[in-house]
Amino acid sequence: MSKERLQDRAALEATVRRAYEAGRRALGSGAVANYIPALANASPGWFGLVVHPVDATEPVAVGDSDLAFSLQSVSKIFSLACLLNDDDHVVFERVGVEPSGDAFHSIVRLEEERGIPRNPLINAGAIVVSGRLKGATVDEKIAHFQGFLRGICTEGAFGVDEDVYLSEWKTGFRNRSLANYMRHWETLEDPMLYCETYIRQCAIEGTARGLARLGLVLANGGVDPIQQRRVLDGRDTRTLLAVMLTCGLYDEVGRIAVDVGVPAKSGVSGGLHAVVPGVC
Ligand code: GLU
């Protein structure tokens, strides 16, 4: 959809509604994740779609757009944004920016590449990012990150879903393995601090409407068009969009880039956050 058509509110609403109906027809073709047991409680029928143009104060929202769900890996792009905003660019000495082509929780390349995760959006890389958030404890790091989110999306609660957190904490052996393995290579210092922060970060709740609000900053070169203030450095925003485009959908990233062609980030709870730079 062109920028001109986006400014035509009726045309935008009709397009979003059509996309929503098409998505609804496809709902039965997937399944909810259950390797984190609490995620299996989600209804496969929940579906919301929100589009927020950069030059509009209100988004177009349909379906379950105000339903809170744990953000899971959609949170990874914002924890990286928070870290870069705190000027921790040294993180890129510990995490690469190349697509991995592997599943999100794969450990194979960590062995080949001496404990340096390929990128910040696979689990290994996101564990490194989360653990480096400002604060001495898990709670301080998460509070700092929640403050970052709430500073942009002032109406968002971004609380932690404790059931989802505990459920992943009890079953997250693979993420613990990644953290321990990276400790061996000295990519990180305290594997349990890093891993627990990561799992709590994934359990932070948001809504489709809130995600669209956060995405405005990414779509608008780092400047929040609603509060009219710069939130992120322009160069950092470019970095974030580049890693979304090249790494945001793990081993499906090439397919989605070919078929859809915009930077996006997925999460196992079903969220999909996409940015059309300069547009929405
Ligand atoms: N917390 C999830 C995990 O580490 C996030 C994965 C995802 O959403 O892609 O398994």
Ligand 1 centroid, distance to 238 Cα (angstroms) = 24
Distance CA 63, CA 48 (A): 4
Mean pLDDT score of the chain: 95
> 61: which strand partners?
50
Residue matched to tokens 């579906």: 47
| Phi, psi torsion values for 19, nearest 5 degrees | -65, -40
CA angle 230, 241, 127 (to 5 degrees): 95
Digit-coded pLDDT (tens) for 240-269? 999 999 999 999 999 999 999 999 999 999
The residues carrying an active-site annotation are 73, 76, 198, 250, 268
User: Nearest-CA neighbor of 118 among 135, 139, 102?
Assistant: 102
Q: How confident is the model at residue 156 (pLDDT cuts 50, 70, 90)?
A: confident
pLDDT given for residue 75 in this prediction:
98
Distance between the two ends of the chain, CA-based, in angstroms?
A: 10
| Mean pLDDT on 31-44 | 95
Residue nearest atom 4 in ligand 1 by C-alpha distance: 123
Ligand 1 centroid, distance to 228 Cα (angstroms) = 33
Candidate from 75, 268, 273 with most ligand 1 atoms within 8 A of CB, to mutate: 268
pLDDT given for residue 122 in this prediction:
98
Query: At residue 98, does pLDDT exceed 90?
Result: yes
Ligand 1 centroid, distance to 58 Cα (angstroms) = 30
Query: At residue 184, does pLDDT exceed 80?
Result: yes
> 223: which strand partners?
230
For the CA of 72, the closest atom of ligand 1 is: 8
pLDDT given for residue 5 in this prediction:
64
Percentage of the chain beyond pLDDT 90 is 93
For the CA of 250, the closest atom of ligand 1 is: 9
Q: How confident is the model at residue 140 (pLDDT cuts 50, 70, 90)?
A: very high
Q: How confident is the model at residue 2 (pLDDT cuts 50, 70, 90)?
A: low
For the CA of 269, the closest atom of ligand 1 is: 8
Task: Give the E-state strand segments of the chain in sequence order.
Answer: 48-51, 60-63, 69-70, 205-206, 223-224, 229-230, 264-266, 272-274
Ligand 1, CB cutoff 6 Å, lining residues? 72-73, 104-105, 123, 168, 175, 202, 267-268
H/E stretch holding 266: strand 264-266
Ligand 1 centroid, distance to 226 Cα (angstroms) = 31
pLDDT given for residue 191 in this prediction:
98
For the CA of 123, the closest atom of ligand 1 is: 4
| Mean pLDDT on 27-44 | 92
pLDDT given for residue 1 in this prediction:
57
Ligand 1 centroid, distance to 35 Cα (angstroms) = 10
Digit-coded pLDDT (tens) for 189-216? 999 999 999 999 999 999 999 999 999 9
pLDDT given for residue 4 in this prediction:
66
| Mean pLDDT on 108-114 | 94
Q: What is the pTM of this model?
A: 0.96
pLDDT given for residue 62 in this prediction:
98
Percentage of the chain beyond pLDDT 70 is 98
